[in-house]
Structures are given as structure tokens and as C-alpha cells.
């Protein structure tokens, strides 16, 4: 009897030690993840400012300015200015995207309670499909942009808006993403499209344009149009992307306020997209009116 009691006490102590060790490892993991979260957010904001700041410079400042230059000035200014600006532009895009994906893993994919409204069910087929669509939608966008739809910005924007609306609805209603999750995945979709445009459409086109200008030749009109259109697409996507990046700070619109039901909170992102597009359109209008001395 005494032996059994002793064994029971020993087993109890071992179990306590085991539970304590598990708790310590979990606490340590949370501390490390919190530190990585803060560090990556810091880098993400920095590289995002670098990228989007130059995007606005190209579209609202450099574009109107370049139109005032004659051939000789362009031959001197463009080969010196643009490679420097495009270096920071493309690498800002790359590191913004990389840090953003890492943050998705830390904040959302490692914590089902932040990702899913029904975390106990875990990842379902719908979860996998919508996460995959987030990062593969760029290829659908590229196909549409290169098609006849891409020749008419308003038509392309309308089709894109409808597709984003469907995506948001499926994330919220089918995949059961939380408000923060469908917001950030829409932002990740836009960010992926934008980074793709920078590296695979804008930068290759700009290299050809810069080389032609340096050689005193007229750049291929199709190449100029491609670079310009993708840059404008990025500019219009940027403001909704910034809203999605705010994420936790926009939960006022997650439902319960202003008469918005939580089941319809996904529609607030559509309103933000339209408002963001209007603001960018107004910036383009103003950019054409700002003159030098």
C-alpha cells in the first residue's frame, strides 16, 4: 500500500513537472513570436513607406514633371534619376511583400482564433481555397489586364470590383474568416498584385524605356503604355491596401456600430475601396494642375 501511495505521489510530481515544462515552453514561444511580430511590423511599415512613397512620387510628381522636359533634358535626367528611384522602388516592394507574408504566418496562421470565426473546427477546405486564391488571384488579374478589358480602365475596375466582392463574401461566409482575417487577406491579394506589377511588368518595361531614352530613341509606345497602366493600377490599389494594413485599428467597422451587422461587415471594405479610388482619382486631377515656379 505504502509503495503504491509513493508511486502515486511520484507520478503526480512528474505530471506537474511535465505540465510546468509545457507551460514554460508555450510562454517562451509566445514571447519570441511577440518579439518577431513587433520587429517585422517595424520593417513592414518602413519598406511600405519606401515603396508607396515612391509610387506616389512617380504618379503625382514625376509623371507631370517629365512631360515638361524636352528630348535633351530627358536624355540626361531619365538615365540618372530613374534607375536610382526604381532600385528603392522595387526592393521596397519586395521586402514589403516578404515581411507581410511573414506577419500573416505569425499573426493569423499560427493562431486560429485570429484567423477563423470557428477556430475549433480548424482549417477546412474552404480555408485553404481562400488563402490560395489570395496569392493566386494575381494571375487572373494579369490575364484580365492583358485582355481587351485592360484597354478600358473603368471596365477593368468594374470587373475587378465584382470579383473582390465575391472573394470577400466567400472569405466571410464560406471560409468563416474573422473580420481582421478577410480584411488582411484582401490587402495581401492587392499587395501581391502590386509587387508582381513592379517586378514583372513595370521594372522590365522601365529598363527598356530608360535604355531607349539614353540612346536618344523613342521608346516603344506599347512598352510605355504597359508601364504606365500597371503603375496606375498599383496607385489605385494602394489606398485600400493601406486600410487593410491598419487591420486591428479598423475593427470599429467589424459590426455592431453604425447599424452594421457583423454578417455584413465584409461589405465595408467595398465602400473603402470605392472611397480610396475616388481619393486617388482626385490626386491625379490635382497632380496635373500643380506647376513649378
Which residues make Cβ contacts (< 8 Å) with residue 159, sequence separation at least 6?
144, 149
Mean pLDDT across the chain: 93
What pLDDT does 32 receive? 87
What pLDDT does 190 receive? 98
What pLDDT does 30 receive? 78
**Does the pLDDT of residue 164 top 90, yes or no?**
yes
pLDDT band of residue 31 (cuts 50, 70, 90) is confident
> Which of the two residues, 16 and 291, has the higher pLDDT score?
291
CA distance 39 to 159: 37
Which residues make Cβ contacts (< 8 Å) with residue 93, sequence separation at least 6?
51, 194, 195, 198, 199
8 A C-beta contact, residue 104 and residue 152: no
Average pLDDT over residues 167-181: 98
Angle at Cα 91 formed by Cα 149 and Cα 57, nearest 5°?
65
pTM: 0.91
Q: Which pLDDT tens digit goes with each residue over 136-157? A: 999 999 999 999 999 999 999 9
Selection from 152, 293, 157, 135 nearest residue 236 by Cα: 157
**Does the pLDDT of residue 6 top 90, yes or no?**
no
What pLDDT does 136 receive? 98
**Does the pLDDT of residue 20 top 90, yes or no?**
no
pLDDT band of residue 13 (cuts 50, 70, 90) is low
Which cell is 138 given? 494575381
Q: Which pLDDT tens digit goes with each residue over 230-244? A: 999 999 999 999 999
Selection from 221, 194, 195, 193 nearest residue 208 by Cα: 221
Angle at Cα 206 formed by Cα 204 and Cα 208, nearest 5°?
75
**Does the pLDDT of residue 21 top 70, yes or no?**
no
Average pLDDT over residues 109-113: 94
Q: Which pLDDT tens digit goes with each residue over 240-276? A: 999 999 998 999 999 999 999 999 999 999 999 999 9
The percentage of the chain sitting over the pLDDT mark of 70, rounded to a whole number, equals 92
Average pLDDT over residues 43-58: 98
Q: Which pLDDT tens digit goes with each residue over 83-99? A: 999 999 999 999 999 99
pLDDT band of residue 222 (cuts 50, 70, 90) is very high
Amino acid at each position: 500500500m505504502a509503495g503504491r501511495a509513493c508511486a502515486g505521489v511520484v507520478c503526480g510530481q512528474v505530471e506537474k513537472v511535465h505540465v510546468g515544462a509545457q507551460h514554460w515552453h508555450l510562454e517562451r514561444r509566445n514571447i519570441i513570436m511577440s518579439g518577431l511580430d513587433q520587429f517585422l511590423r517595424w520593417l513592414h511599415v518602413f519598406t511600405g513607406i519606401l515603396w508607396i512613397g515612391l509610387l506616389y512620387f512617380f504618379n503625382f510628381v514625376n509623371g507631370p514633371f517629365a512631360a515638361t522636359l524636352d528630348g535633351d533634358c530627358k536624355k540626361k535626367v531619365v538615365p540618372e534619376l530613374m534607375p536610382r528611384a526604381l532600385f528603392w522602388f522595387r526592393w521596397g516592394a519586395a521586402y514589403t511583400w516578404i515581411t507581410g507574408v511573414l506577419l500573416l504566418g505569425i499573426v493569423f496562421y499560427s493562431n486560429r482564433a485570429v484567423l477563423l470565426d470557428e477556430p475549433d473546427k480548424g482549417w477546412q477546405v474552404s480555408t485553404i481555397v481562400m488563402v490560395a486564391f489570395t496569392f493566386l488571384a494575381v494571375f487572373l488579374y494579369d490575364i484580365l489586364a492583358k485582355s481587351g478589358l485592360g484597354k478600358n480602365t473603368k471596365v477593368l475596375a468594374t470587373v475587378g470590383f465584382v470579383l473582390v466582392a465575391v472573394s470577400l463574401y466567400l472569405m466571410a461566409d464560406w471560409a468563416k474568416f474573422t473580420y481582421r482575417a478577410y480584411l488582411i487577406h484582401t490587402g495581401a491579394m492587392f499587395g501581391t498584385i502590386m509587387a508582381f506589377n513592379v517586378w514583372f511588368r513595370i521594372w522590365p518595361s522601365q529598363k527598356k524605356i530608360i535604355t531607349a531614352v539614353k540612346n536618344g530613341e523613342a521608346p516603344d509606345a506599347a512598352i510605355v503604355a504597359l508601364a504606365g497602366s500597371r503603375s496606375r493600377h498599383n496607385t489605385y490599389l494602394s489606398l485600400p491596401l493601406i486600410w487593410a494594413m491598419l487591420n486591428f485599428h479598423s475593427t470599429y467597422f467589424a459590426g455592431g456600430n453604425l447599424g452594421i451587422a457583423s454578417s455584413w461587415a465584409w461589405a465595408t471594405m467595398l465602400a473603402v475601396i470605392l472611397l480610396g479610388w475616388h481619393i486617388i482619382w482626385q490626386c491625379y486631377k490635382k497632380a496635373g494642375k500643380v506647376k513649378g515656379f
